[in-house]
Structure 1
Amino acid sequence: MSEQLADEFDVVTVGRAVVDLYPAEDGRAPRNVESYRQYLGGSPTNVAVAAARAGLRSAVVTRTGDDLFHGFVVDQLETFGVDTRWVRAVPGRRTTLAVCDLENPHSPGLTFYRDTPPPEDALDVAELVAAAAASRVLWITASGFATPQSAAAQSAAIATAHQVFLDLDYRPDFWPSEHALHDRLLPVLSQVDAVIGNLREVAIALGETGTPEDLARRLLSRGARLAVVKQGAAGALAATRELLVEQPAFPVRPVNGLGAGDAFGGLLVKGAVAGWPLSETMRHAAAAGAIVTSRRACSAAMPTMAEVAELLQSHQQCR
């Protein structure tokens, strides 16, 4: 990991950009849904949007299919203030679709319609290395290691990046087994600055179970400087070698929690870039996640800093 300081972008995210299809009505079983609305999606892309909404200079390195959805992805990113210079269409590939099941807002589901290999496996190594060198934070995902060319590009970029945040982002559809994910990720854990995942994801990556604090400490022992274990409605835990922060979740009426972790990630980056204390970073990240949980979409639901501040202030007044 490079010690030089980049100044063109605050964060560059790497990986899938998809089109999310969400039911137009809440609480309906998929068989009863009459219409869907399309939104920009894909976990790393959502993080880039969250960061941009938080006032950071963000960009994505991704690929779409050479199809009718490419223009939609680019237009949406530009609308949200995310740089699109590294977004390209791949001839012969189709943009990934993710269809959401919102029958139970406490447990929303996703079904992916995805080429094999997907468009993002056509990432160019030299391009990603250059993007990593131009940013203060490089955000990569476990899913990016699921296909060969994307894995090679991410691995090369780690060596030139200034700070690397790894989102464990486990999607069972993308891996033959949990064991395959563990084997691929275990050596990566020692190469990155921060690791973020939920309890299940962290346990799979480490090949061990334990309490959130136990798992965070084990990530730190592997070489990370920051370990974050998300626990949904139970909140989140963040650890460095010197600090341990337990952040409760903010109570909201859930509509769709699928983008909450991405909003959380965008504010983690905001805190890292701004030099906030870890406790302040976690409060803002949890607030952003709560706001998105109370909304329908992912990228389009990402809050502004004013909205995050409003939630934090209202919560403070209620204490």
Structure 2
Amino acid sequence: MTVAAYVLGRVGADLYPQQLNTPLEDVRTFERFVGGFAGNVATGLARLGLRVGIISAVGDDGHGRFVRRFLEGEGVDCSALHVHPTLRTALAFCEAWPPDDFPITFYRTPTCPDWELQIGQLPEDLAAARLLYASGTGLAREPSRATTLAALQRCRQRVIFDLDWREVLWEDVRDFPELAWEAVSLALAVIGGASEFTAAALDPSDVLKRGPKLVVVKRGAHGATIVDARGARDVAGVAVPVINGLGAGDAFAAALGTALLAGADADEAVRRANAAGAIVASRLSCSTAMPRAPEIDALLAGGTVTDGQVRTG
């Protein structure tokens, strides 16, 4: 079966605290989940009914096998999930201080498997995909930087590019604006928070002049701002009790792309994306929290979220 969308980039094991509002040094127990931009978005797309493949890499270790087993169980094509022979699978430990503080400690430097992806490891059918997802973290180090730009070239104007600015992962933060400009010029849609557009020295309205048809500025609980040929306008968010905001942006991206492929206009696509992000924010994890279409439908129809579950009536 043909892959409709590929997701390129960061994947690994996320260790989430079982004790909220607790510094990392005092957390006693963690639960492990698949995480990272590519892992989360691929899971989100699969749960929304899209045939999706991941382009990334893990280590030849238990965490890497855990990642593959979970993604395959979700229906993600893992034929381009490579195994690095010597590097260990990337890890991330997070703290959870609801509603808006979720520090992450990354174990990715000086390098990790997905930053070592080579151009020759891109799947042969990549150019045939209807969508490619990529993120700014893929541009942070070589050879991933060259591989990411090559993938964007193959899928130009069929790319959803998430700025995904994480300063701690860049050797030289001054590289980000120039590389972000190059990436967005190849995209169909560009997603990021207001601070990420600032870090990339991008004015959302100017991005359209580079080629993208849609720019979305995420504003958390306040929803999002659309910038397209019709101008700029806000789409309201969906209020939920927040447990962990990490992964909400990945759910947003997955729902946005799925809706656009289904023929939705930008406003409807962002409404669905806001709802998907809200559902994930009401849950502890990222990948396993990704919603399915009926949950998004129910929330938009007036449902509420209690204990991470969407309830109607």
Closer/same/farther in 2, CA of residues 11 and 245 from structure 1, 3 Å limit = farther
Take 1:104 and 1:308, find their aligned partners in 2: how far apart are those partners?
22
Closer/same/farther in 2, CA of residues 9 and 245 from structure 1, 3 Å limit = farther
Alignment of 1:195-210 (within 5 A): 195-205=190-200, 207=201
Question: Which of 20, 42, 66 is matched with 1:72 structurally?
Answer: 66
Corresponding letter in the other structure for 2:152: I
Question: Which of 281, 286, 295 is matched with 1:298 structurally?
Answer: 286
State the SS of the aligned residue for 1:275: coil
Displacement of 1:189 in angstroms is: 2.2
In structure 1, stretches of 5+ residues that fail to align are 1-6, 209-214
Q: Is residue 2:253 matched to residue 1:258?
A: no
Q: Is residue 2:103 matched to residue 1:106?
A: no
Deviations 1:4-54 (A, max 9, x none): xxx812210001111000011323332332110000000122111111111
Q: Is residue 2:42 matched to residue 1:42?
A: no
Closer/same/farther in 2, CA of residues 303 and 235 from structure 1, 3 Å limit = same
Corresponding letter in the other structure for 1:308: I
Take 1:271 and 1:194, find their aligned partners in 2: how far apart are those partners?
13
Q: Is residue 2:171 matched to residue 1:183?
A: no
Aligned to 2:308: none
Aligned to 1:4: none
Given that 2:141 and 2:170 are in contact with CA atoms closer than 8 Å, whether structure 1 keeps it comes out as no
Question: Which of 270, 278, 284 is matched with 2:272 structurally?
Answer: 284
State the SS of the aligned residue for 1:130: coil
Closer/same/farther in 2, CA of residues 186 and 180 from structure 1, 3 Å limit = same
Closer/same/farther in 2, CA of residues 243 and 171 from structure 1, 3 Å limit = same
Percent identity reads 35
Deviations 1:266-294 (A, max 9, x none): 01110121111211111110000000000
Deviations 1:118-161 (A, max 9, x none): 21122231332624213110111111111111111122122221
Corresponding letter in the other structure for 2:197: V
Displacement of 1:219 in angstroms is: 1.1
Aligned to 1:211: none
State the SS of the aligned residue for 1:187: helix
Given that 2:165 and 2:199 are in contact with CA atoms closer than 8 Å, whether structure 1 keeps it comes out as no
Aligned to 1:268: 256
Q: Greater shift after overlay, 235-244 or 132-141?
A: 235-244
Displacement of 1:242 in angstroms is: 2.8
4+ aligned runs moved over 3 Å, structure 1: none
Aligned to 2:223: 235
Aligned to 1:219: 207
Q: Is residue 2:129 matched to residue 1:135?
A: yes
Name the Cα RMSD after superposition. Answer: 1.8
Question: Which of 188, 197, 211 is matched with 1:193 structurally?
Answer: 188
Given that 2:275 and 2:296 are in contact with CA atoms closer than 8 Å, whether structure 1 keeps it comes out as yes
Aligned residues: 304
Aligned to 2:297: 309
Alignment of 1:18-29 (within 5 A): 18-29=12-23
Question: Which of 133, 137, 152 is matched with 1:158 structurally?
Answer: 152
Take 2:224 and 2:132, find their aligned partners in 1: how far apart are those partners?
22
Corresponding letter in the other structure for 1:26: L
Take 1:17 and 1:271, find their aligned partners in 2: how far apart are those partners?
24
Given that 1:48 and 1:59 are in contact with CA atoms closer than 8 Å, whether structure 2 keeps it comes out as yes
Corresponding letter in the other structure for 1:290: A
Alignment TM-score, normalising by the size of structure 1: 0.90
Given that 1:13 and 1:139 are in contact with CA atoms closer than 8 Å, whether structure 2 keeps it comes out as yes
Take 1:310 and 1:274, find their aligned partners in 2: how far apart are those partners?
18
Take 2:275 and 2:233, find their aligned partners in 1: how far apart are those partners?
15
Displacement of 1:97 in angstroms is: 0.6
Q: Greater shift after overlay, 185-194 or 227-236?
A: 185-194
